[in-house]
Amino acid sequence: MFLIVGLGNPEKKYEKTFHNLGFVAAGDCAELLGAKFKKRECEASVAEGFVGGEKIVIARPVTYMNASGRAVKQLIAKYKVTPGELVVLYDDFDLVKGHLRIRPSGSAGTHNGMRSVIAEIGFSDFARIRIGIKDPDVEVSILDYVLSEVKKEDYPLFSDACKRAAEAALALAKGENFDLVMNRFNG
């Protein structure tokens, strides 16, 4: 059993914002598995697939970003997921746009969605895949930036980053060595 959670906001108006890249990457995971987001449970939209006979649950919380932890906590309880069976995908303002950073644990940094997840589940030793969004040429507040739409000229960059994040999440779900996955996808 493995749980992959992509963080974002559920409304259509947020669909193309930086803060929804976790949702996009979760969608890419589902697509790679041939799975569809068919059901809603634990305050999340959920898709299910299999890798090597192991069940993979992919979720997009519908609680809005700052309350994402509620859904993650419910999903962990329902599926009896251990910290080693959880990976969270999300945007990161502190990482250069298009770059990935995969880590086995850590803090929430400046990300309110991750703060919610860690506070609700009570541990931080789970895999996280951060998708960099920082544009050194843009000077606005973090809140205004993360809720702004990705520029059309950057679509290919972020589309590729989300696909790579999905591939990395599925590599971890397959049981590939964490260090090797980090070496292959970080950067």
What domains does the chain contain, in order, with CATH numbers? Answer: 2-185 (3.40.50.1470)
8 Å CB contact between 3 and 78: no
Structure confidence at residue 48 as a pLDDT band (50, 70, 90): very high
Instruction: Judge whether residue 187 has pLDDT over 90.
Output: no
Burial of 95 (0-12, 13-18, 19+ CB in 10 A): middle
Q: What is the percent of the chain with per-residue pLDDT over 70, rounded to a whole number?
A: 100
Confidence of residue 59 (pLDDT cuts 50, 70, 90): very high
The pair of three-digit structure tokens given for residue 29, joined into one six-digit string: 């995971």
CA angle 100, 163, 177 (to 5 degrees): 60
For 107-163, write each residue's pLDDT tens digit.
988 899 999 999 999 999 999 999 999 988 888 888 888 888 999 999 999 999 999
Q: Would residue 111 show up in a list of annotated catalytic residues for this protein?
A: no
pLDDT(164) > 90 = yes
pTM: 0.95
- Rounded to whole angstroms, how far apart are CA atoms 132 and 161? 8
Query: What tokens appear for 8 in the block?
Result: 């974002």
Residue 101 contacts residue 185 (beta carbons within 8 Å): no
Catalytic residue among 2, 14, 17, 19: 19
- Residues of the chain with pLDDT > 90: what percent? 87
**Mean pLDDT for the stretch of residues 66-71:** 97
Nearest alpha-carbon partner for 55 in 46, 63, 64: 46
User: What is the reported pLDDT for 138?
Assistant: 81
Q: Who has greater pLDDT, 164 or 137?
A: 164
Mean pLDDT of the chain: 95
C-alpha to C-alpha distances, 177 to 132, 169, 180, 184, nearest whole angstrom: 23, 12, 5, 11
The structure tokens listed for 60 are 């997009």
